[in-house]
Amino acid sequence: MPTASTTSATSALAPIPSLPSPEWSTVSRIAIQECHERLLPMSLAPSPIMVFPAYQRLGIPGAIPECFVREGVYLALLAAARSLPEGINLLVLDGWRPWRVQQYLFDTLHEAIKHRHPNATEDELLNRTREFVSLPSRDPCAPSPHLTGGAVDVTLCNADGIPLDMGTLFDEAIPASHTDHFEQLIELTPVQQHARDNRRLLYHAMHQQGFTNLPSEWWHFDFGDQLWAHYGEHSTACYGPAELDTIENRWRRQIG
């Protein structure tokens, strides 16, 4: 897996590059060579990582009270967190996501957009929904990123756990949530400039450890999955669909 050195103060404030939205048909054709890394709970991680399982706290049906990620993602997140300036922590909001949660998020956003734009075609609704929530898929050749344990949603917080201002809230489905939004503005207020700098710090800390970013979501980063292969220009992905190592799953494997 790719690694990199600690983020320098200069590169941490460099502009965030503008990237196109993914062509999902292209992403889904990227081959997966599963490496069989286990899922680890981020609550095991020491400071400067904090964990807040946002969907479980919001009462989303099927959401779990933990943020699981693949072992390679776990180590890369630790490295990214340790590269941050003193007093700033990495706050993990979501990682591996049960399919039921992915379906709920997709359906909920789709219906909200349809309610706001009743004359939109189904293709238009699908495209606008996929801007912020990927299509629910357990297909071993084209899984939803969060179902692999390679996608993670993160933000920055201070030493007391208070999230820093990133310009929008986590999961706000609006244009301002696009990672490069503040890079496109000619004039910024002091508040916008502060949010832009926070986004830059997060983006570069993650990028230096091998993560790629989904351009429409400043909080979403990928490592090892098909989106990571797409934006990182890797020939293959190494994470396919993953399941938690529950007692039930263990028994199913063990009993002949």
pLDDT digits (tens, 9 = 90+) for 69-79: 999 999 999 99
Q: Say which DSSP state 224 is in.
A: S
Q: What is the pLDDT of residue 10?
A: 58
What is the pLDDT averaged over residues 25-52? 97
94 is in an annotated binding site: no
CB–CB of 120/114 below 8 Å?
A: yes
pLDDT of residue 9: 57
pTM confidence score: 0.91
Q: Compute the distance between CA of residue 230 and CA of residue 102 in angstroms, rounded to an integer.
A: 21
CA 8 to chain centre: 23
45: nearest Cα among 1, 85, 79, 7: 79
150-183: string of b/e by CB count within 10 Å (b at 16+)?
bbbbbbbbeeeeebbebbbebbebeeebbbbbbe
- Give the active site residues: 217
Q: Is 146 annotated as a binding residue?
A: yes
Q: Can you tell me whether residue 162 is helix, strand or coil?
A: coil
How far apart CA 211 and CA 166 sit, in angstroms, is 19
Residue 167 in contact with residue 192, Cβ under 8 Å?
Answer: yes
Q: Is 153 labelled a binding residue?
A: yes
Percent of the chain at pLDDT > 90 equals 81
The answer to whether the beta carbons of residues 153 and 177 sit under 8 Å apart is no
Task: Tell me: pLDDT of 58 over 60.
Answer: yes
Domain boundaries, the chain: 9-98+143-254
The CATH class given to the 9-98+143-254 domain equals: alpha beta
Name the residue with higher pLDDT: 245 or 49: 49
Element housing 156 (H / E): strand 151-158
pLDDT in tens, 21-36: 999 999 999 999 999 9
pLDDT of 256 strictly over 70: no
First to last CA, the chain: 35
Quick: pLDDT tens for 123-146.
Answer: 888 888 888 888 899 999 999 999
- Cα–Cα distance for residue pair 239/224, rounded to 1 Å: 6
Q: What is the mean pLDDT of the chain?
A: 93
Task: Count CB neighbours of 231 within 10 A.
Answer: 18
CA separation, residue 11 to residues 8, 201, 216 (Å): 5, 9, 22
Residue 8 above 60 pLDDT?
no
Pairing state between β 49-51 and 88-94: parallel
Q: Residue 126 burial by CB count (10 A; 0-12/13-18/19+): exposed, middle or buried?
A: middle
